Amino acid sequence: MNQRLISEIGRTQRLEIINSLKRTKGMSVNELVGRMNMSYMGIKQHCITLHRDGYLDTWRRPQKMGRPEMVYRLTRRSHDLFQADSHQFTLDLLKSAQEIYGPNAPEKLLYSIFKKKSAALKAKAKGDSVAERAKWLAHVRDGEGHMAQFINNKDDGGPRVVECHVRNRPGHARAARSDSQLRSVRVRVSFR
């Protein structure tokens, strides 16, 4: 299921909550209120519904003073709502290419594909400055379901695009490395 399908079948506020939580390790209702243009009770009700439907779970985040704060985060079920980068067909195809054409074949295939994608994006890129082009790229990639976000913090390396990708979901083949790989990976693309 992709982001466009979700936006057609679900409420936009719920989709916005899920997208906000995907970009973080979890957020409280107050943090979501600060990010969205909704009331506390409206966001709270959507979080309760998403929790009931199995897309969110809760945990208590310790505070410096006072009671722990309840924080919402995504469950494994919610990973099906986002584009995955480890589909079985792709892995089987790369393995077959390696068996037929040698150990470097998968890397060469991927390099060729990403080179063409980069050239196509570069030809369509809008904006005069690096920051404007990075912002445009983040918007395009986010629309494709890659959870892309433009960040322009001069103290932290300047303009960049940060993406969240689901990796090694249960029921899918694991990459050749180790079982201890992270299930979710953040990719940073710098524009310098």
Amino acid 174: pLDDT: 36
The reported pLDDT for the residue numbered 173 is: 36
* Chain segment 29-38, per-residue pLDDT in tens: 999 999 888 8
pLDDT score, position 166: 53
Tell me, what's the pLDDT at 86?
Answer: 61
What's phi and psi for 98, nearest 5 deg?
-65, -45
- Cβ pair 51, 45 in contact under 8 A: no
List of the chain residues with pLDDT < 70: 1-11, 83-86, 165-192
